[in-house]
Structure 1
Amino acid sequence: MRIEIEAGVRLFVDVQGPGLLPDGPLMRELPTLICMHGGPGFDHAAFKPGFGALADIAQVIYYDHRGHGRSDPRPSSEWNLDTWADDVVRLSDALGLVKPMVLGQSFGGFVAQRYIARHPAHASKVILSSTSHHMGLSRKLAAFQRLGGDAARALAEAFWTAPSDSSWQAYWHGVRGLYNTRPPLDPEAGARTLIKPEILLHFVAGEKQGMQLLPGLALAQCPVLVMCGEEDPVCPPEDAEEIAAALPSQWSQLVRFPGVGHGAWRDDPEAAFAVLRRFIQA
């Protein structure tokens, strides 16, 4: 379904699991988990069906960021972190959600970090999964070289320093297999993803180049779980460590997953969902 979050702006939203469960003579309210997908330019499909495993303890809400996927197309002037971060609040207001939990994966984690800075009292909990706070090019290049040699490093450098349709296609086809340490559990998942390369290239060529999200993290007012794979080349674990250190110490939790790449639930779903369940239910 498409939900209007402000005049003329509709986001595609999908909901899994009930918000209220019968519990004796009462209806027990479950927390709401808003899942923000990676990219930019991708859609929410990567969360399915895996995150359905959490629907017994939380109502899971998936959506496509403004301009992405099945959400309404929007002009490039709106393709920025401030707008996408504010959309979390707009969507929550439209759905009547108070104190949701928010999970940002990869680029969705960029959005979640900016959301913390702009709306620090809005969430009840935040999960930052396989994400970074800056471009961190030298770390990316070193990781791709370690995992894929000089050829992988060259493809990564060409895309991240001079993003274009051709450098993107070469990069994605050449190094996508290095993002994770095991074959996909669902080999058709990528084919189901709607990709808008124009959003990806706009962001990587623009805001991503000078992105620095650490300062805003000090404003956090709720528990924040930082999850990272130790073999993630595009959002290396050193980035996660710096994110966790920038958060107020009383709110910050860091979990590293050995032998895991980009998106811990892809490479070690048992461990990743166990961590998520503990955090959600704490």
Structure 2
Amino acid sequence: MPDINVNGTTLRYLDEGPRDAPVIVCSPSMFFDLSMFDSQAEALSDRYRVVRYDHRGQGDSARHPREELNMDILTEDAAALITALELGSVTFVGNSMGGFVALRLAARHPDLVRSLVVMGTSADVEENAEQMDELIEVLAEHGMEPVLDGVLQFMMGETTLQDPSRAAVLARVTAMLRSRTPEYADAAWHIAHRSSILDELPTIKTPVLVIAGTEDYTYPPPKSVQIAELIPGAELRMMERTGHVHAIENPTAVNELLEEHLRGL
């Protein structure tokens, strides 16, 4: 997989599909990497150019000190990636932390965003910052294992945690989380301490699809409703039997909604 130097960092990315096709850029959730969107790339890259990347400080992208991992910097990374790859105006897809980036990108760089799809995200401050700070402190000192069960509980929906048909999904996410080193605490800190961008949402004029998981206990459906109500013309869709990481927990449903959204552009 190639790397690219943009905005003072080095990002790992994958660029698949026809170079002259409409472009989709996928931005992952905290702790995840570009493999989060494997199913979407497989389903769409025959007709679309699909670009996936790892955020700075995560996956195989460059590491940085905590003060260089905030949401504003991650947003400028995304803008610089789109510009450096000469992607033009893209459909930007973000899950959770990727949604934080997506909303900021659409508000601040409208020329780079043809449309927006955000899943399991929030535009407000973190309501559970104190609880998250406790988790982050343990992660920084002792690694993922002591907080693994708690992280799984807020990431996975009840169906994924309990349904045997999703055992492979749960095993995949568990193995991924176990691989995350204490340095991931620095990126997670900025989730707990991000600023609100509710006042920026009404400035977004691009088509927006907001997807909420009915079993998302990290950012429950009212967070998605809030986003959809503040962005003019935004469409809200509820996804049943889905927790916080839509792209992995319910990939077929996500692919169907993406196809529908892209056809409507």
Please state which band the TM-score falls in when normalised by the shorter chain: 0.7 to 0.9
Q: 1:11 to 1:267 in 2, by over 3 A?
A: closer
What pairs up with 1:155-194 in 2 under 5 angstroms? Answer: 158-160=131-133, 163-166=136-139, 169-174=145-150, 176-177=152-153, 179-180=156-157, 181-182=159-160, 183-186=166-169, 187-188=171-172, 190-192=174-176
Q: 1:17 to 1:210 in 2, by over 3 A?
A: closer
Select which of 37, 59, 63 maps to 2:28: 37
CA distance, structure 2, for counterparts of residue 263 and residue 205 of structure 1: 19
Contact 1:120/1:219 (<8 A) preserved: no
Aligned to 2:225: 241
What pairs up with 1:103-118 in 2 under 5 angstroms? Answer: 103-118=93-108
What pairs up with 1:35-184 in 2 under 5 angstroms? Answer: 35-39=26-30, 41-137=31-127, 158-160=131-133, 163-166=136-139, 169-174=145-150, 176-177=152-153, 179-180=156-157, 181-182=159-160, 183-184=166-167
The number of equivalent residue pairs is 251
Aligned to 1:264: 246
Contact 1:68/1:196 (<8 A) preserved: no
CA distance, structure 1, for counterparts of residue 134 and residue 26 of structure 2: 29
CA distance, structure 1, for counterparts of residue 193 and residue 9 of structure 2: 27
Higher helix share: 2
CA distance, structure 2, for counterparts of residue 206 and residue 71 of structure 1: 17
User: Could you tell me how far 1:191 is from its partner in structure 2?
Assistant: 2.8
Q: 1:175 to 1:196 in 2, by over 3 A?
A: closer
Q: 1:133 to 1:184 in 2, by over 3 A?
A: farther
> Which sections of structure 2, spanning at least 5 residues, go unmatched?
161-165
> Which sections of structure 1, spanning at least 5 residues, go unmatched?
20-28, 139-155
Contact 2:26/2:50 (<8 A) preserved: yes
CA distance, structure 1, for counterparts of residue 153 and residue 21 of structure 2: 37
Q: 1:145-176 CA distances to partner (integer Å, 9 max, x unpaired)?
A: xxxxxxxxxxx974455631259654432351
CA distance, structure 2, for counterparts of residue 52 and residue 230 of structure 1: 25
Using the size of structure 2 for normalisation, the TM-score is 0.83
Contact 2:121/2:223 (<8 A) preserved: yes
Contact 1:46/1:189 (<8 A) preserved: no
Give the RMSD, CA atoms, in angstroms: 2.6
Contact 2:12/2:54 (<8 A) preserved: yes
Q: 1:227 to 1:160 in 2, by over 3 A?
A: farther
Larger mean CA deviation between 174-183 and 220-229 belongs to: 174-183
Using the size of structure 1 for normalisation, the TM-score is 0.78
Q: 1:270 to 1:111 in 2, by over 3 A?
A: same
Select which of 255, 262, 265 maps to 1:280: 262
Which residue identity lines up with residue 2 of structure 1 in the other structure? D
User: Could you tell me how far 1:126 is from its partner in structure 2?
Assistant: 0.8
User: Could you tell me how far 1:101 is from its partner in structure 2?
Assistant: 1.2
Aligned to 2:203: 219
User: Could you tell me how far 1:204 is from its partner in structure 2?
Assistant: 4.5
User: Could you tell me how far 1:135 is from its partner in structure 2?
Assistant: 4.2
Contact 2:91/2:113 (<8 A) preserved: yes
Name which one, 1 or 2, has greater alpha-carbon Rg: 1
Which residue identity lines up with residue 233 of structure 1 in the other structure? Y
